[in-house]
Amino acid sequence: MLVLSRHKDESIMIGDKIELVVINIGLDRVRLGIDAPPDYAISRPDVDEALKRKQIKQRFNEYLNSGNYLEAYNLIEIGEISPTVQRLSELTKGLVGKLKEYEGK
């Protein structure tokens, strides 16, 4: 890892197309500006992880609301989501209902 020191309004070039500029320096954080072509993907791991959790929660709720209880359960089983007690109760009731349907056949 290359470690560089910069002051406010100083920049760093990455290749010849990406420029990082120190916009502001606070007590415990640095504000950066990034100038890059639109075809370069720039992401923040913390934001990416939050988006992933939100998408998993939406998928879990869609499975549960559509009666796809096994898929909802699988998300819990592989550790992708920890549902609320209410949603877990709904899942349990749905799974029990499906078992009763199969027993009746």
Contacts of 14 (CB under 8 A, 6+ apart): 20
pLDDT in tens, 25-64: 999 999 999 999 999 989 889 999 999 999 999 999 999 9
Check whether residue 37 and residue 3 sit in a common domain: yes
Check whether residue 22 and residue 61 sit in a common domain: no
Check whether residue 38 and residue 49 sit in a common domain: no
* Residue at a domain's end among 27, 42, 57: 42
Contacts of 72 (CB under 8 A, 6+ apart): 60, 63, 64, 91, 94
Output DSSP code: residue 18: E
CB-based burial label for 69 (10 Å; 0-12, 13-18, 19+): buried
Check whether residue 32 and residue 83 sit in a common domain: no
Q: What confidence score (pLDDT) does residue 6 get?
A: 94
Check whether residue 57 and residue 89 sit in a common domain: yes
Check whether residue 51 and residue 99 sit in a common domain: yes
pTM: 0.62
Check whether residue 25 and residue 51 sit in a common domain: no
Check whether residue 4 and residue 30 sit in a common domain: yes
When divided into structural domains, the chain yields a total of 2
pLDDT in tens, 2-28: 999 999 999 999 999 999 999 999 999
Check whether residue 87 and residue 70 sit in a common domain: yes
Check whether residue 24 and residue 70 sit in a common domain: no
Check whether residue 12 and residue 62 sit in a common domain: no
User: Which residue range(s) make up the domain with 55?
Assistant: 45-104
